[in-house]
């Protein structure tokens, strides 16, 4: 790689005044890229110190143009930041940061460097992290932001609920909890202690949802949504249970109301002692 240096008349004049700090521009003949930088002159050739795009310097010839000299490095760095900021959105600008601003590619490379070196956020000895994390959580809680933002929590709940339903976890948990409450008698106790007003309201809501009075005739949907296991345990949907007359098996297996109707038509007793459950449909 051969590098060339351009020195404009203002630069020569500044060198005569023995100013030591300058900003420069690196270009690549025939290519559109460019790079801005600051250097403190030490009398040796200098062509930038790239990190993210170093391969371009290694592969292509470059030229350096010294733009302006400064009395202090701080002044030179401020001028450099203004230049980079002006060209920050230009895809041909090879600078990945100015001041405290870093591009996405620059941040990714920085994280990779820290990971490879086992330093920074990947360092082993970081006693400050627990304290910093606690402070961040407390700040978010007080301000209602981040993890404590209402919309973030809602979205997290929706995503978690959907994942539980798709995995079958929530259904299994419901079956376990329901069986525990039923076997312990807690479910019956809740039903007994339920206020009459609440019972009536729940009855009305159930009727509106599944009843036929509103013309929707949703009872088949309710029956289809009730599993045979549920029917066998609690008999919520009696249409799925078949009964027979033990003294007159020739009648066959029927729904309880159908069986009683047949028994009465034939003149047979139709009390509960005259029927037995024989099977569950489904």
Please indicate, yes or no, whether residues 132 and 89 belong to a single structural domain of this protein: no
CB atoms within 10 A of CB 70: 20
How high is the pLDDT of residue 157? 79
Please indicate, yes or no, whether residues 19 and 90 belong to a single structural domain of this protein: yes
Spatial distance between the Cα atoms of 68 and 10, rounded to a whole number of angstroms = 8
How high is the pLDDT of residue 1? 47
pLDDT in tens, 195-219: 888 777 877 777 776 665 554 555 5
Spatial distance between the Cα atoms of 16 and 85, rounded to a whole number of angstroms = 30
Please indicate, yes or no, whether residues 178 and 258 belong to a single structural domain of this protein: no
- Residue partners of 191: CB distance under 8 A and separation at least 6: none
Please indicate, yes or no, whether residues 46 and 90 belong to a single structural domain of this protein: yes
Number of structural domains the chain divides into: 3
Q: Does the pLDDT value for residue 6 go beyond 80?
A: no
pLDDT in tens, 52-93: 788 888 899 999 999 999 999 999 999 999 998 888 888 888
Looking at per-residue pLDDT, the higher value among 112 and 195 belongs to: 195
Question: Is residue 109 situated within a structural domain?
Answer: no
Please indicate, yes or no, whether residues 83 and 138 belong to a single structural domain of this protein: no
pLDDT in tens, 28-56: 999 999 999 999 988 788 888 777 788 88
Please indicate, yes or no, whether residues 169 and 91 belong to a single structural domain of this protein: no
Question: Is residue 25 situated within a structural domain?
Answer: yes
User: φ, ψ for residue 26 (rounded to 5)?
Assistant: -100, 130
Please indicate, yes or no, whether residues 86 and 12 belong to a single structural domain of this protein: yes
Question: Is residue 257 situated within a structural domain?
Answer: yes
Of 95, 113, 146, which marks where a domain is finished? 95
Domain region containing 31: 3-95
Of 74, 95, 116, which marks where a domain is finished? 95
8 Å CB contact between 6 and 66: yes
Share of the chain above pLDDT 70, in %: 70
Question: Is residue 205 situated within a structural domain?
Answer: no
- Structure tokens that stand for 108 in this block: 């990714």
How high is the pLDDT of residue 110? 58
Share of the chain above pLDDT 90, in %: 14
pLDDT in tens, 220-258: 666 665 555 555 555 444 556 888 999 988 888 888 888
Confidence at 23, pLDDT banded by 50, 70, 90: very high
How high is the pLDDT of residue 236? 47
Query: Residue 67 in 3-state DSSP?
Result: strand
Please indicate, yes or no, whether residues 135 and 87 belong to a single structural domain of this protein: no
Please indicate, yes or no, whether residues 11 and 71 belong to a single structural domain of this protein: yes
Question: Is residue 136 situated within a structural domain?
Answer: yes
Question: Is residue 175 situated within a structural domain?
Answer: yes
Question: Is residue 225 situated within a structural domain?
Answer: no
pLDDT in tens, 139-188: 888 888 777 788 877 887 788 778 877 887 777 877 888 788 788 887 77
Of 95, 117, 136, which marks where a domain is finished? 95
Q: What mean pLDDT is reported for the chain? A: 76
């Amino acid at each position: 790689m051969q590098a060339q240096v351009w020195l404009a008349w203002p630069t020569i004049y500044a060198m005569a005044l023995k100013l030591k700090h300058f900003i420069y521009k690196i270009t690549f003949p025939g290519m559109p890229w460019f790079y801005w930088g600051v250097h403190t002159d030490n009398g040796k050739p200098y062509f930038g110190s790239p990190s993210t795009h170093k391969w371009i310097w290694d592969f292509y010839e470059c030229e350096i143009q010294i733009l302006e000299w400064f009395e202090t490095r701080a002044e030179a760095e401020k001028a450099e930041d203004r230049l980079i900021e002006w060209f920050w959105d230009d895809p041909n600008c090879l600078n990945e940061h100015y001041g405290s601003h870093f591009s996405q590619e620059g941040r990714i490379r920085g994280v990779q460097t820290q990971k490879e070196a086992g330093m920074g956020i990947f360092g082993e000895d970081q006693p400050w992290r627990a304290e910093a994390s606690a402070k961040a959580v407390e700040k978010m809680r007080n301000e209602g932001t981040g993890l404590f933002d209402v919309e973030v929590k809602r979205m997290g709940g929706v995503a978690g609920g959907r994942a539980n339903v798709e995995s079958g976890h929530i259904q299994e948990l419901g079956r376990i909890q329901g069986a525990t409450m039923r076997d312990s008698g807690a479910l019956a106790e809740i039903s007994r202690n339920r206020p009459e007003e609440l019972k009536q309201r729940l009855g009305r809501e159930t009727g509106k949802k599944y009843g036929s009075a509103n013309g929707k005739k949703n009872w088949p949907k309710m029956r289809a949504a009730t599993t045979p296991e549920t029917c066998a345990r609690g008999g919520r949907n009696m249409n799925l249970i078949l009964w027979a007359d033990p003294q007159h098996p020739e009648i066959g297996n029927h729904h309880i109301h159908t069986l009683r109707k047949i028994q009465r038509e034939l003149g047979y007793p139709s009390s509960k002692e005259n029927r037995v459950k024989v099977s569950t449909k489904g």
